[in-house]
Structure formats: C-alpha cells, structure tokens
Amino acid sequence: MLSERFTAAIDYARVAHAGQTRKGTAIPYLQHLLGVASLVIEYGGDEDQAIAGLLHDVVEDCGEAHAGAIGERFGARVLGMVLGCTDGTAEGKAGLDDGGARRRDWLRRKQAYLNHLAHASDDTLLVSGCDKLHNARAIVGELERPEVGRGVFDRFTGGRDGTLTYYRLLADLFTQRGAAMADALEREIEHMYALAGERHRAA
C-alpha cells in the first residue's frame, strides 16, 4: 500500500524540479520521476524505494541543500537510496564552464558510479536500475523517431560512443548483480545498439 508519504514525495519532486524538462524535449522532468517510481513498484520495490525513485535526482539536479530536507521528511533509508543514486551535485556541475571540463568530469563520475554500484545495497540497486531502464527506453524511443534518430546522442555529454559504452557497462553490472530489471535493461541496450548502428558488444 502507498500512503500519504508517497503523495508528499510526488509533490516534493514536482516543486523541486519545477521548470526542468527531459533533455532536448519539452516534457516536464516529473514524467521521468513518476516513470522510475512506477518501475520500482513493478519490480517489487516497497514504498521507501518508490519514494526514492521519485526523489533520486533532487540532490544531483536541484542542490545539496535538499539532502537534509529529504532525510527529515522521508527518513534515513530514503535519503540513503537517493544519495546512492547520485553521481554528482548541481553545485559541482555548475562549476564546469567548458566542454572539455564537462567531458572529463562526466567520465570521472560515470566510472566512480559504476564502481559504487558494484557494491551498492540491494535497495539502491533497484532504484538505480529502474532509473537506467527508464532512461534507456527514452533514448530508444528517440532513436526510433525519424526527426531525432541518432541525433539524440548530441544531447549527452558522453556523445554517441560514451553513452553506448556506459549503458553497456550498466547492463552488464545489473546482470552480474542479479537485479530484478536486468533482463529488461539488457533488451533495451541491445535495441539501442542496433538503432545506433553498432553491433552488440558483450562484456
């Protein structure tokens, strides 16, 4: 059963991410957060995990000040999962003023996040995997649109090759950890590679 805590988390996410949209679209960012929470529930998560799905990007995209508020309003377990899904902060990203610095920071953060996920708690692993699955489905959806296609990779700091490699490594990691959504993520990555004109690269 989902309680008023879940409703409160939706409202918290709506306010925190107000004005933010999905990369390269006019879709309110809340759509992604609701999608992640829905996948968390679909793959067996409890209310705390679903709430973490709603709030998983707040610290990263809206600022470190939210961490304290999340802990107070939704508890230490939720905050732990949110921080476990965070690979940078809004403040840290704001200090990068050129493409080269952003690219180097992206590479550093993604490698550190992969290392982190290899040992992350099962709680965090479920929320993170559902986040990556929802993102992968969004990328595949854009690849299938003739007016976007492979241009979708221009939206990402890692570009085409970096994004494909990162998602391949993520899929391998979630499979190795036996995460509930691993098979679904693997299928999306295979589809992503095919649409991007790349052969599937096994681990």
CA distances from 177 to 40, 121, 181, 193 (A): 16, 10, 11, 22
Token match 């409703």: residue? Answer: 7
Whole-number Cα distances in Å, 94 to 29, 97, 138, 143: 19, 8, 25, 29
pLDDT number for residue 191: 97
141 torsion bin: left (phi>0), alpha (psi -120 to 50), beta (else) = alpha
Which of the listed CATH numbers 3.30.365.10, 3.10.310.30, 3.40.50.300, 1.10.3210.10 matches domain 4-195? 1.10.3210.10
pLDDT given at position 75: 98
Domain ranges for the chain? 4-195
Taking the complete model, does pTM exceed 0.95, yes or no?
A: no
**Per-residue pLDDT tens digits for 20-52:** 999 989 999 999 999 999 999 999 999 999 999
Model confidence over 126-178: pLDDT tens digits?
999 999 999 999 999 999 999 999 999 999 999 999 999 999 999 999 999 99
- Please write the tens of the pLDDT for every residue from 47-103: 999 999 999 999 999 999 999 999 999 999 999 999 999 987 666 666 666 667 888
Distances (CA, A) of 161 to 61, 79, 154, 171, 178: 24, 33, 11, 15, 26
Q: What is the pLDDT of residue 160?
A: 96
